Homo-oligomer: A and B are copies of this chain.
């Protein structure tokens, strides 16, 4: 009787396994705690700006990650009673946390490519939906413009002379610069795209006359 009916058992080498690489949200949180001790609430808000350009997270995710990281001994917490506000729990990096973070930086990076419906929609362009796509595009432009303005302000205030900054701040500057360039590129593209869409749209209004 043959128990292993199909082929022979295989030996797998796990050469490119990512199993042991924990999700980067944890590391993003630890990064945010490098300088400051913060509560989950404060982290949630700070994720909306600075680091948030590269990593979005909901408060549910963040609170859970904080508890997990504390269980692993990478963070320590402190209960802070407050008057006039609900009590909060602030978290800080432990030495083990700092070490784990440094080690993580030296590992391989994982990229989760962005997924954007809008581009898939462009593959479906027709006179029927061109007007709608222009609207979506206009909304994006507003968002990108707002974000760009914010990042430009931050740059001028805190990163005007990058080479004069301490090393770590130079790294943050580069990330910020990537964000700025990204917004600029999208805005320039949106202008080109809008011009082309505008040439498509009138066909509909003519047909609808």
The interface of chain A, by Cβ under 8 A from chain B, is 24, 27-28, 31, 34, 51, 53-56, 101-102, 105-106, 108-130, 132-133, 136, 162-163, 167-168, 170-175, 177-178, 181-182, 184-186, 188-189, 192-193, 196-197, 199-200
Contacts and interface: CB of A to CB of B under 8 A. Distances in A.
Task: Provide the main secondary structure of the chain A interface.
Answer: helix
Given A123-B51, A162-B196, A102 B129 contact: yes
A24 to B, nearest CB: 5
Contacts of A117: 24, 27, 109-111
A104 B113 CA distance: 22
A128 B55 CA distance: 24
Contact of A122 (B127, B171, B184): B171
Given A101-B124, A174-B196, A185-B181, A129 B106 contact: yes
A56 B109 CA distance: 17
Given A181-B188, A199-B163, A174 B122 contact: yes
Contacts of A51: 120, 123
Nearest to A56: B113
A31 B114 contact: no
A187 to B, nearest CB: 11
Contacts of A177: 189, 192-193
A183 to B, nearest CB: 10
Contacts of A119: 53-55, 175, 178
A167 B120 contact: no
Contacts of A34: 123-124
Contacts of A182: 182, 185
A106 B120 CA distance: 12
Nearest to A185: B185
A108 B120 CA distance: 12
Contacts of A127: 167
